[in-house]
Structure 1
Amino acid sequence: MGLSEGFWHHEYWLPPGATWEDMKESVDTHYPQPQDLLLCIPGALFLIVVRCIFERAIALPLGRKLGVSDKLRPKVQPNATLEGFYVLLGRTPKEGDLISLAKQSDLPVKKVETWFRHRRAQDRPRLTKKFCEASWRFVFYFTSFFSGLALLYDKPWFWDHTMCWLKFPQQPLPPAFGWYYLLELSFYCSLVATLPFDVKRKDFKEQIIHHVATITLIFVSYCANLIRFGMIVMLVHDASDYILELAKMLHYMKWNWVCDAVFIVFAVVFVISRLVIFPLTTYYYFVTKFQLFLVTYLINIFLMILQLLHIFWSCLIIKMLFGVILHGMRRKDARSDTEESDRSETEELTKNRE
């Protein structure tokens, strides 16, 4: 048995007693084919191109009309010694490093410290960039969620999850479901490709884990014809994402009261969909009403990884929610940028003008 044949052996991908022969295609009946997923590569590239056009032609002008503008930032004087340290050794030198750099540059320690502060401010993502990214994700998640809802609302197995497994794996793939799957896979592949260029947030590592887990689940569930279950899982996850991106857009526009209201809605939807609906209904029926086989154990592992991430993000969201409701704090994105705040940047500009 060759490597490819061994990898695609029916005992790994299908329940006991089922073989690939049970899923033979005909003129009127189509089943998932692994090679279909190769389209995610041009699909991801296409989405990246569409995103670039959307951000420049639509999101950026829209943001400016809505009052989103970048703050003036202090400029740093070119200094090869300090720049070399910044790029190679670290953006925030320790006290000993500051003294050494001051001697090498023939500058006061205070000046060196200020140079690094200004240099970090230069690398902070612009507000317009944040707005454009949030706008793109809002458009995609909004379209994805309501498209998925339109595809599923009249399906009996959407309301009764036990019906997801009727006649499995002999469940023909409707063309619309196949394209929906491909769209989701292409989008998450595009997110992985653009992560190094996007706004880097505190949960950068968690984002990578999430994207890898999501891509793996989409790929495996498609190949194993777990399309019904996969569609429900994706829809549950998309339910809150577009609301979060809308809240971010409102935050960048400084519509604070509206932003707080939308954020509260997001928090409620996120907790209900990720900590209640997903584990207690969708996942529960998967592990209790379905005959598990080899590939489903892999799916279980990645679903549990996602659930751990849900708990992690829920803790951050609930903490922020209490800040918004009880303490009247200005809402900040839980996954805020890793660099210094706009306030510290403004303070530096003020000092420069004095």
Structure 2
Amino acid sequence: MSGLMAWFWSEDVWLPPGYTWHYLTHSTHFNFPVFADAWTYPFAIAAIFIFLRYLVLNPLVFAPLARMLGVKDARPRSPAHHEALEIVFRWYRTRPSPEALTEASTAMGWSQRQVERWLRQRAAVSKTTSLTKFCNLAWEATYYISYTILGVVVLWDTEWLWNIDHCFYGFPEQSLDEWVWIYYMVSLGFYWSMTITHFFQHRRKDSMQLFVHHLVTILLISFSWVVNFVRMGTLVLVVHECGDIPMLLAKICKLCGSQRGMDGFFVVFLILWLCTRVGLYPFWIMRTTLFRAHVILKMWYPIYYILNGLMLGLLVIHIMWTYLILRIVVRMLLFKEVSDVRSSSEGWDEEDDDDTKKET
């Protein structure tokens, strides 16, 4: 194991030429990030977030607020339990293969239409209620608003916010600020809390994608922490975390029946998304990491390519999401319909609703 760890954390890969882990972590003239911090404090913060979300805010704040705004907590009656059909539901939900449908109908002595109706009723029971959706959206909105404010406070007086080249001046011998430490630990704690609670939430069509997204985000934040890429990391975080706020608020307005509020927040979301994810991220951050960093540092080493490759992958996802969001804009203009197609969407819920409409 020690040999494997030594190979993985090779200084030739992670550090600029001429630097060693011992020198960076034991230097007294600057504060280098402590590796263990990224794997200790975030778990304590995650526990606080989980406690605050499920035992304080959800029952005492979000749920009463939702009921006051007219959000319902209705759930349809559950169909009679049949283990054979439960197995089919776990594998296929409302869209079983023809073979599975035939086998289930034969085993139950039912028609295929009866099996399909049972699966739709079972899916309706499994759907997240409007009240639960409201609480989830309210929690995420609360976090992202708070974290965005924290980011502005932390970065406002930093030199690299106003001159991005300072992300690389003197690298890697850059002292870690106490508030930047807090900014990083809070972000890691939040994504760990979302990863842990992922297993206790209702299953969604995009559950696996969300889980992978959380893990990749944790790895990106952790790796940038290990190599003291935190200055650029803070800029990436502040550009990304603010973009979801208006979309979350738009979906809350939708649950509350406020069409005007939903449309207004969606317009704000579209503008903010284009400015941050399609504007600032590629033309301010990515341009610097790709075309300026190696000029300032006067060196090339493997982690430079690894981090840039991961950031380029993130940019590709942004482009794909932008295409889907623009499709939403067209659909909203033509049909007055708004839905979120990104990772926060309740994808399989919408499919089950479509099935129900076809049934009726």
Distance 1:320 1:96, change over 3 A: same
**Structure-2 residue corresponding to 1:219:** 222
Distance 1:87 1:114, change over 3 A: same
Looking at structure 2, the residues matched to 38 and 219 of structure 1 have their Cα atoms a distance apart, in angstroms, of: 9
Contact 2:254 2:262 in 1 (8 A): yes
Match of 2:325 among 314, 317, 330: 317
Does structure 1 residue 110 correspond to structure 2 residue 113?
Answer: yes
1:60-209 aligned within 5 A: 60-87=63-90, 91-95=94-98, 97-198=100-201, 200-209=203-212
Does structure 1 residue 300 correspond to structure 2 residue 302?
Answer: no
Identity %: 27
Looking at structure 2, the residues matched to 100 and 205 of structure 1 have their Cα atoms a distance apart, in angstroms, of: 28
Matched to 1:177, the amino acid is V
Q: Which stretch has the larger CA shift, 309-318 or 330-339?
A: 330-339
1:238-317 aligned within 5 A: 238-291=241-294, 292-317=300-325
How far apart are 1:328 and its partner, in Å? 4.4
TM-score, normalising length: structure 2? 0.87
Distance 1:269 1:315, change over 3 A: same
**Structure-2 residue corresponding to 1:24:** 26
Match of 2:48 among 46, 52, 59: 46
Q: Which stretch has the larger CA shift, 67-76 or 95-104?
A: 95-104
Looking at structure 2, the residues matched to 294 and 329 of structure 1 have their Cα atoms a distance apart, in angstroms, of: 49
Contact 1:34 1:223 in 2 (8 A): yes
Looking at structure 2, the residues matched to 99 and 119 of structure 1 have their Cα atoms a distance apart, in angstroms, of: 18
Q: Which stretch has the larger CA shift, 292-301 or 224-233?
A: 292-301
Matched to 2:46, the amino acid is A
Please give the per-residue CA displacement for 1:310-349, whole angstroms capped at 9, x wherever unaligned: 112111111112222x22422222234213455765897x
Does structure 1 residue 210 correspond to structure 2 residue 218?
Answer: no
Matched to 2:168, the amino acid is W
How far apart are 1:51 and its partner, in Å? 1.9
Looking at structure 2, the residues matched to 233 and 88 of structure 1 have their Cα atoms a distance apart, in angstroms, of: 38
Looking at structure 2, the residues matched to 96 and 8 of structure 1 have their Cα atoms a distance apart, in angstroms, of: 50
Contact 2:31 2:176 in 1 (8 A): yes
Contact 1:210 1:309 in 2 (8 A): no
Aligned with 2:242: secondary structure? helix
Aligned with 1:177: secondary structure? helix
Contact 1:213 1:305 in 2 (8 A): no
Distance 1:122 1:154, change over 3 A: same
How far apart are 1:179 and its partner, in Å? 1.5
Contact 1:199 1:337 in 2 (8 A): no
Distance 1:116 1:201, change over 3 A: closer
How many residue pairs end up in the alignment? Answer: 347
Distance 1:295 1:75, change over 3 A: same
Aligned with 1:69: secondary structure? coil
Please give the per-residue CA displacement for 1:109-165, whole angstroms capped at 9, x wherever unaligned: 433332222111111111111111111111111111110111111222101111211
Matched to 2:117, the amino acid is T
Structure 2: give runs of 5+ residues left out of the alignment: 295-299
Distance 1:89 1:237, change over 3 A: closer
Match of 1:330 among 334, 337, 358: 337
Matched to 1:333, the amino acid is D
Contact 1:274 1:310 in 2 (8 A): yes
Structure 1: give runs of 5+ residues left out of the alignment: none
TM-score, normalising length: structure 1? 0.88
Matched to 2:19, the amino acid is A
Contact 1:200 1:337 in 2 (8 A): no
Looking at structure 2, the residues matched to 338 and 90 of structure 1 have their Cα atoms a distance apart, in angstroms, of: 9
How far apart are 1:100 and its partner, in Å? 4.2
